[in-house]
Structure 1
Amino acid sequence: KSRIINGDNFKKDKIYDVKDLYTATNKDLTFFHSKNYSSLALSTKALYCVTLKSLSNYLPKTCKKIIVDNVLFSMAKITKEFYPNSVVDDFDNSVKEINKTKFKNKAKYGNNVLIGNNVNIGKNCLIGHNTIIEKNVIIGSNCSIGSNVIIRNTIIKNNVNILDGCVIGKKGFGFFPNKNKNVRYPHIGLVLINDNSEIGCGSTIDRGSLSNTIIGKNTFLDNQVHIAHNNRIGNNCIIAGQVGFAGSSSVGDSVMIGGQAGISGHLKIGNNVHIGGGSGVIKDVEDNSKVMGYPAKNLKEFIKSNR
């Protein structure tokens, strides 16, 4: 549903959706709150952008600026106008037992499997006991979904394994602290898991806020890995157990991360990077780097300082 935006400096323009800088079209509204995204701001196609006065010159002339004091708080209010239920994450009451759906004879499944409305499941899929696949989820062919799994707001491509106990597509940990009541940030993005990937037991992957959370092709997550909202993990990555990602970071291709490492938010991890177990990554890491420690530093420096 479109919205009309009024203002002293604006016409009555129709806004069709709210999107991130990269995916917004000339019918959409976006936001720009940090210089870290200046390259995306310069090329955005958005009709409107909510931003700070200090950042407005990064935006193209075709993009109309809405200047505010707090970009993220303003975007939370705007997003809830378009998506009133975007801060709600209740269970899907449309689910029914799989043997009462069209997938009764199309998939192999265990006991107590529940399927929501408008779900699509490809050929040769396995679904374990007590698993819930909620409305609008898409699962490709030759996939294995373990037992006690919950999947919502997610697109899974072909040949993907989701092991037991995973929760995929729940809302992320986004809110504005307040003494009386913390204000939730809306989540309208999806989780996209690409071909030939594996998600280990007990792992959690949050849906995106305005953009999607993405797992690349042939990327393997060990047990108990947490991927927060808006992260983009590249192809051919290997991420060991209990690694945790804060939100909105990007990870390149062929990255290896040792167990219990932590990745701060809004970072860029390059291609072919190795991150040692137990490391704390708090700044960007260049291509082909090997880092370890807290804060993570060049591996040779880490070894030298710990002799």
Structure 2
Amino acid sequence: MINPFFKNNGPFKISDILQLINLDNFKITNDQKIIDIKDLFTSQKNEITFFHSKKYKNIANNTKASFCITTDILKKELPKSCIPLVVENVLVSTSKITSKFYSSSINDNFDYTARDITETKYKDKVEYGKNVLIGDNVTLGSNCLIGHNTIIEQNVSIGDNCSIGSNVIIRNTLIDNNVKVLDNCVIGKHGFGFFPINEKNLRYPHIGIVIIGENSEIGCGCTIDRGSMSNTVIGKNTFLDNQIHIAHNVKIGKNSIIAGQVGIAGSSILGNNVRIGGQAGISGHLTIGNNVEIAGGSGVIKNISDNSKVMGYPAKNIRDFLKDNK
């Protein structure tokens, strides 16, 4: 899928990329053009990717990228078709390259194209409150409602029969049919991604988007960050309670229910039919299986297999927790 929100400035010669990450002396036989930077799973020939953690070695084994930014220890996991570029800090180098390809993704400035809905083609097609702003190339389906003081920024797509509350900001997002987004939500802003370098934080560009499946509901005051390299995804028929934070690259399966004040850290993947109680926290880069139940207030710091019920901090089998806390 072509990214509808961020322009790709490429292609760039691999020699230009090597210079950017201080690998000027790296020997290349073909100064080929690199057309994009993507994650290990989606990257293709003539693209560059990155590999920074052994958690992703199974994906790295099969990546189709032509080049990969990685470490000396991890490079052995790459296929022969992928040339490793060994650097001191994988994520910093990846950030520099991503910024070169997608310079518009670094800052989250407001949408200069946004104008009052009464000045757009949707003034007679949807029901709306006061002070609603719509950006260029926005798509709104039939039978939609939009509350007061809401901003829907350029290129956002919203399906049929959707209800968007008041004081909502939506950007870099694709929303399917029959979705409700309640008041005071912020969807599609960049995530909490940066690196402290020489006492100055380096902001990591976020070129992913947010995708919300059909028949879902996003409760009041929720924040859903767009992905950094991949997308943040809310599966169909998934309901989020109020004041939930979904960090960048998180993927939640279908038919899941998440209670208020839950926080899910970046790049964690949740299966289908997951139930999470209020104020639970899930660490980043974890995999939560299908049909998992997580009790309120729990702290999840490791993967959870299918059909598990966990509780406590660190979260463990609920029977063991109750036995240990009689």
Which bracket does the TM-score occupy, shorter chain normalised? over 0.9
2:179 equivalent to 1:160: yes
Change (3 A) 1:163 1:99: same
Which residue of structure 2 aligns with residue 241 of structure 1? 260
Which residue of structure 2 aligns with residue 143 of structure 1? 162
Runs of 4+ more than 2 Å apart: none
2:36 equivalent to 1:17: yes
Give deviations 1:140-163, integer Å, cap 9, x for gaps: 111110010000000001111100
**2:275 corresponds to which of 256, 260, 265:** 256
Give deviations 1:226-250, integer Å, cap 9, x for gaps: 0000001111100000000110100
Separation (CA, whole Å) in 2 of partners of 1:83 and 1:141: 31
2:23 equivalent to 1:4: no
**2:246 corresponds to which of 227, 241, 248:** 227
**1:280 corresponds to which of 299, 321, 324:** 299
Separation (CA, whole Å) in 1 of partners of 2:144 and 2:36: 34
Q: How far did 1:83 drift? A: 1.4
Aligned length: 307
**1:79 corresponds to which of 98, 102, 119:** 98
Separation (CA, whole Å) in 1 of partners of 2:65 and 2:178: 36
Separation (CA, whole Å) in 1 of partners of 2:136 and 2:84: 39
**2:225 corresponds to which of 169, 194, 206:** 206
Q: How far did 1:93 drift? A: 1.0
Q: How far did 1:67 drift? A: 1.1
Separation (CA, whole Å) in 1 of partners of 2:158 and 2:69: 35
Matched residue type, 1:86: S
- Matched-pair identity in %: 64
The residue correspondences of 1:34-113 to structure 2 (distance < 5 A) are 34-113=53-132
TM-score normalized with structure 1 length: 0.98
Q: How far did 1:179 drift? A: 5.2
Q: How far did 1:10 drift? A: 4.4
Matched residue type, 1:4: K
SS at match of 2:84: strand
Separation (CA, whole Å) in 1 of partners of 2:208 and 2:165: 24
SS at match of 1:11: coil
SS at match of 2:31: strand
Q: For the aligned residues, what is the CA RMSD? A: 0.9
Moved more, 236-245 or 35-44: 35-44
Give deviations 1:176-227, integer Å, cap 9, x for gaps: 1245311111111000001111100000000000110000011000000000
Separation (CA, whole Å) in 1 of partners of 2:183 and 2:240: 13
Separation (CA, whole Å) in 1 of partners of 2:286 and 2:192: 17
Separation (CA, whole Å) in 1 of partners of 2:289 and 2:257: 14
Separation (CA, whole Å) in 1 of partners of 2:30 and 2:202: 31
Matched residue type, 1:5: I
Q: How far did 1:39 drift? A: 1.3
Q: How far did 1:26 drift? A: 1.1
Matched residue type, 1:3: F
> Please, which runs of 5 or more residues in structure 1 have no aligned partner?
none
Give deviations 1:90-146, integer Å, cap 9, x for gaps: 111110000101111111111100000111111111111100000110111111100
